[in-house]
Structure formats: C-alpha cells, structure tokens
Amino acid sequence: MTQPRISQLSAVIIDNGSGLCKAGLSGEQEPRVVVATIVGYPKSRSIMFGPVQRGSYVGKEAQDKRGILSLKYPVEHGIVTSWDDMEKIWRYIYKRGLRIRAWERPVLLTEAPLNPAPNRETMTEIMFEHFQVPAMFVGLQAMMALYASAHTTGLVLDSGDGVTLTVPIYKGHCLLHAISRMNFAGRDITKYLATLLLESGYAFLSSSEKEIVKNIKENLCYITSDADHQKEKGLVHQYILPDGNPVQIGDQLFRAPESLFNPTDAGLAAPGIHQMILDSISRCDGSIHQDIWRNVIMAGGSTLFPGLHERLLKELRALAPKGFPAKVEAPNDRLYSVWIGASVLTSLPSFQSMWVTRQEYKEVGSTVLQKKCF
C-alpha cells in the first residue's frame, strides 16, 4: 500500500487514562470517543460460546454486563499493566469508535511521567507491529495539559482515576526529579466514600452498587473551604437510588474528597495535594520558583469537585513564601485538557518533524522513541 505523507494527515490522539481513554483527531477541540478503560471477560464458558459468541467486551459494554463478566482494568495508577487488554481497547477505539484504519494516520499516545522505559517500548512495538501505524509519538500527560492552557512553564496538578501527580515544567521541559506522585485518586475516593456510607448503614457492595457510589461521588461530593468543615456540619443531601428509594447523605460527601488534602483520613500515609505541590516546587531551582508558583494548572477528573479550586488556592497561599503569589488555574475543560493539549501540539507545523516514522522504527527498534519523545 502507498503510505501518504504524514504532514498531510490529521493524527489520531489517544489519551490513555486509568479510568477513561479519550480519542479523536488532531486539530479538533474535544475527543470524539471516550471509552471506560475496562475489558470484561465472561465468567462462564456458556456465555462466551453462546449465540453472541463474544470473548470480551470493552468500555460501557463491559460495564453494562458486569453481572456476567469479570472486569479487568489494564491501566493501574497511570501505568499499563495488561498489554493484551490495552490492545483490545485501542482496537475498539479505531474500529468502533473512530472508524479509522490505524495504518492511514500517525498516532500520538499519552503516558504518565516516570513511565518505565520498557512500557514505552512495548507500546511502540504494538503500534508499529500490530496496528501498522505510519508514525507515532508519545507525550507526557502533564506536558499536554500545560500546552492546553497555553503555557510552557508551570506546575500541573494531574489527578484522574488512578494516580495524582504534581509535575513542574520549565520552558517545555519536564523536571522529572521534582515530580511528586501519590497512588490515590478518583477510584480510591470512590472506595473511601463506600466505606463511609457503610459506616452509616448503607451497604454498596456489588459491582453495580459500586457504580452507584461513583455516581454519588461525581454528582454530590464537594470540597469544603477548610479542614474543620464547620459550615457544612449538619447538612444532608438526598440521593435517589435506581429503584426509586431515597437515601440521606451528610458529611460523607465532603469527607471523601477531603482525602485529597488529608490522605491519612483514608488510611494512606502520604502528603496532601497542597503539600505535594510545595514539595515539587522545593525541588526545583530557586530561580524559577516564582514562575512555578504563579502557574499551577489543575487537570484530570478528580480536580472537578466543587470547591477544590478555592480550597487549593487558599492552602497554597498559606504555604507560598512571602512575595511569591500563588495562582491556580482551573480550566473548564480540564477533564480533557491532556487530550486537547495533544491535539494542539500535533497541529503545529513545527511538530511535524517530531514524528517517529515506521522507517526509523525499522532502523533503530523500539528504543527509538526514547530519543525523540520528551
């Protein structure tokens, strides 16, 4: 087949998250496809070889059939742990989501900072060998989120479903030595909320009931203005269950997300997000501290809690040195800011020389991305 010129094609962008994979085309303002990062396998062979004859299900299909499936999560704490399952999700994205043939367009894939080198090499092999892409690039998620906010210097607080990171970036260079990481994020907040509800007599134990807890978290949970929660004590919210019965939920709604600031509440011995930011900045060269303090950018689904922006700004202003005014940006599209930044980056004429081509892969092998991708 004739390979078209890479620079003439809109690239495929795939942001690989622990909870969601977002995919679409370069130059567009938002992803076309959002898929839950889940693969389900039938628990019974009679299901696998029944009338439908399906060996696996991806995304929402897997969630909807959770009662008869064993669910697998191929991305844990931001790192791919099952390449077979990840490949199934990518195939689903190309074939049923985007309806694009992989060999026709270059692809940019995102990864978490500090991703082990063998993981990047495996991803490279899969894309070139199994998907036959003409070219590819791997971008750091925090870097892409910063680009989406039109900055090249700043600190990204990236908290999604599986991991929370504070990543300082200076003039487009990720300061790897200063990254702070916490294996606690949205999925863990959901589990903690379920524990708090159980203590109040509400048992959400089955997989379908756990989805209810996630829905409660996403629709009712919020961050209070201070750790004492004085103003919110006594407030009760009503949530209607799928069967129509109401439940009354009180302080659990702010105690669960409070664990972002106080992980010890949820049993994790780790600093809160405000302390993580301070730790990351402290490890940067003193000459750039002011630039970092005034460009803190929030990204990821677990930064969407109402009140989080205001509370984080309050905590950082209390921690920042005198004369270093802390500023925090909370972009409205921060659920997709990593994908959006990658879409912007791959649209730039200056980026086109950054693609790692199939020919380069054939000449160098899977380590080729280590040389060109930042």
pLDDT of residue 374: 60
User: Among 343, 336, 352, 333, which Cα is nearest to 27's?
Assistant: 343
pLDDT of residue 69: 87
Could you tell me how far CA 40 lies from the centroid of its own chain?
20
Instruction: In whole angstroms, give the CA distance from residue 340 to residue 293.
Output: 23
Supply the pTM of this predicted model: 0.91
Q: For the domain 147-184+271-329, what is the CATH superfamily, name and number?
A: ATPase, nucleotide binding domain (3.30.420.40)
User: Among 193, 200, 240, which Cα is nearest to 218's?
Assistant: 193
Instruction: In whole angstroms, give the CA distance from residue 105 to residue 28.
Output: 15
**186-263 is classed CATH 3.90.640.10:** yes
Q: For the domain 6-36+81-142+338-372, what is the CATH superfamily, name and number?
A: ATPase, nucleotide binding domain (3.30.420.40)
Q: Domain segments of the chain: what residues?
A: 6-36+81-142+338-372, 38-72, 147-184+271-329, 186-263
**pLDDT tens profile 182-237:** 999 999 999 999 999 999 888 888 877 888 999 999 999 999 987 676 556 668 99
pLDDT per residue, tens digit, the chain (374 aa), is 444 456 577 999 999 999 999 999 999 999 999 999 999 999 876 544 444 557 899 999 998 888 888 889 999 999 999 999 999 999 999 999 999 999 999 999 999 998 888 999 999 999 999 999 999 999 999 999 999 999 999 999 999 999 999 999 999 999 999 999 999 999 999 999 999 999 988 888 887 788 899 999 999 999 998 767 655 666 899 999 888 889 999 999 999 999 999 999 999 999 999 999 999 999 999 999 999 999 999 999 999 999 999 999 999 999 999 989 999 999 999 999 999 999 999 999 999 999 999 999 999 998 888 776 66
Strands 180-182 and 246-249: unpaired
* 6-36+81-142+338-372 and 186-263, same CATH topology: no
CB 253 within 8 A of CB 261: no
Using the 8-state DSSP alphabet, how is residue 130 labeled?
I
